Amino acid sequence: MPQLIDFILHIDEHLVTIVNQFGNSTYLVLFLMIFIETGVVILPFLPGDSLLFAASALAANQAFNLNIWLLLAVFFAAAVLGDSVNYEIGKRVGLAASNNSFFGRFLDQQKLNKAEAFFNKHGGKTIAIARFMPFIRTFAPFISGGSHMNYRKFIHYNVLGGFLWVALCCTAGYFFGNIPVVQDNFSLVVLGIIGISLLPIIVTYCRGRLNRKPESL
């Protein structure tokens, strides 16, 4: 865990090492990192937002042989394919989640029934918005698959959310990542990105707690 935290906070330095070591194969490494974060439901803690930002910042620096347009394509493909695989995993194990020793910790049949009703009403919006929320973006496609959300509806918002997520994070990294004050305080920038991403979750949690208090009185 300490190594993971160090990697996230100093991802810019680690990316330089990856680029120098792997050369053109860096695109494959970055593809796999985003694909695993979005596609493997048990690994929701990988640094997706900060990775997109840092890689795009390197692409803006001519000292590194990274093409921003190729990065955009690689990240977009990884995000869409990862969520699609996650959807299929949820679809195949979702109905048996309550009997599964691992997935049963997160989902049971009652939760799946509620999730199915929720995604039928708000599913598309949830898939697109969840892209900008760490952890949530990993479980959203899994739950949508487990609740048998219509795949055409899912892929539509999957593509939309993936495009917006990659475009915004990469644009921010490309144009702001090489500003001296950002480079000198990159760890703080990464923490800021994580904090902003988690803000909607925190607000939703606080609202839920406040709404429960009157009922308990």
At residue 167, does pLDDT exceed 90? yes
At residue 208, does pLDDT exceed 90? no
At residue 8, does pLDDT exceed 60? no
**d(Cα 25, Cα 23) in Å, to the nearest integer?**
5
Mean pLDDT of the chain: 76
Q: Are 141 and 154 within 8 A, CB to CB?
A: yes
144-169 in b/e form (b: 16+ CB < 10 A) is bbbbbbeeeebeebbbbbbbebbeeb
Residue 17 phi, psi dihedral angles, 5° rounding: -65, -45
Q: Tell me which of 143 and 192 has the higher pLDDT.
A: 143
Tell me, what's the pLDDT at 79?
A: 93
Domain of 77, in residue numbers: 2-216
Residue 43 phi, psi dihedral angles, 5° rounding: -125, 65
> What pTM was estimated for this model as a whole?
0.76
Tell me, what's the pLDDT at 60?
A: 86
Residue with the two structure tokens 């691992």: 102
Counting the structural domains of the chain, the total is 1
At residue 166, does pLDDT exceed 70? yes
